[in-house]
Amino acid sequence: DAGVIQSPRHEVTEMGQEVTLRCKPISGHDYLFWYRQTMMRGLELLIYFNNNVPIDDSGMPEDRFSAKMPNASFSTLKIQPSEPRDSAVYFCASTGTNGGEKLFFGSGTQLSVL
Amino acid sequence: QKEVEQDPGPLSVPEGAIVSLNCTYSNSAFQYFMWYRQYSRKGPELLMYTYSSGNKEDGRFTAQVDKSSKYISLFIRDSQPSDSATYLCAISGGSYIPTFGRGTSLIVHP
């Protein structure tokens, strides 16, 4: 398996623009997580899905952030409009019910909002 | 108080040293304990996973859990420059949602 695949690896955009981050989880995994990592706050859970259904989005900072999982092999995290304070590394991770808490992370998307 | 506390470092040691990385946690319901390693510009990868108190060894790495003190440790023996990375502890109560520490940056210099 290729692991968790995220795209793009880097995104540079201007304030006010829409940003879409993409994730393909490991085949067979039924949990998908979106995290944001910054130096100040570390790794923060934004939202997670189980069987494509959003379970807990309490970590999403505000209404500008939205996430979808239309099928078991694809998820998106959208920021509209983007702001400079959204600059961070965004990680997607997945795990299976039998895998417990052993999360598998993608390589992340480095987002810079100018 | 954060649920999981971890000193961000950096921790700089010479090659061959024994490294000790630590986390404290506040929720006594936590029962799964993990260490992730994150290289620069990469995602975290699971290094060690343990369920109970005591020690678990894997090569040069030993994970130690003391539930009575709510304290977990990761020891690295004979540290190598390739061990230079950020080490994140992660703790869970069984809900599949681990709580991560902020990570400790380790630098092993030749």
Distance between A78 CA and the closest CA of chain B, angstroms: 20
DSSP string of A43-87, one letter each residue: EEEEEEEETTEEEE-TT--STTEEEEEEETTEEEEEESS--GGG-
Whether the CB of B3 is below 8 Å from some CB of chain A: the reply is: no
As a whole number, mean pLDDT of residues A44-53 equals 94
As a whole number, mean pLDDT of residues B33-39 equals 96
Q: What is the DSSP letter of B98?
A: P
Question: Are B96 and A108 inside 8 Å of each other by CB?
Answer: no
Distance between A28 CA and the closest CA of chain B, angstroms: 16
Where does the pLDDT of residue A97 fall: very low under 50, low under 70, confident under 90, or very high at 90 and above?
Answer: confident
- pLDDT of residue A40 exceeding 90, the answer is no
Contact B1, B94 (CB under 8 A): no
B-interface mutation test, from A23, A43, A44, most B Cβ less than 10 A away: A43
- pLDDT of residue B29 exceeding 90, the answer is no
- pLDDT of residue B96 exceeding 80, the answer is no
Q: Which pLDDT value is given to residue A62?
A: 86
As a whole number, mean pLDDT of residues B29-50 equals 92
Question: Are B42 and A107 inside 8 Å of each other by CB?
Answer: yes
- pLDDT of residue A100 exceeding 70, the answer is no
- pLDDT of residue A84 exceeding 70, the answer is yes
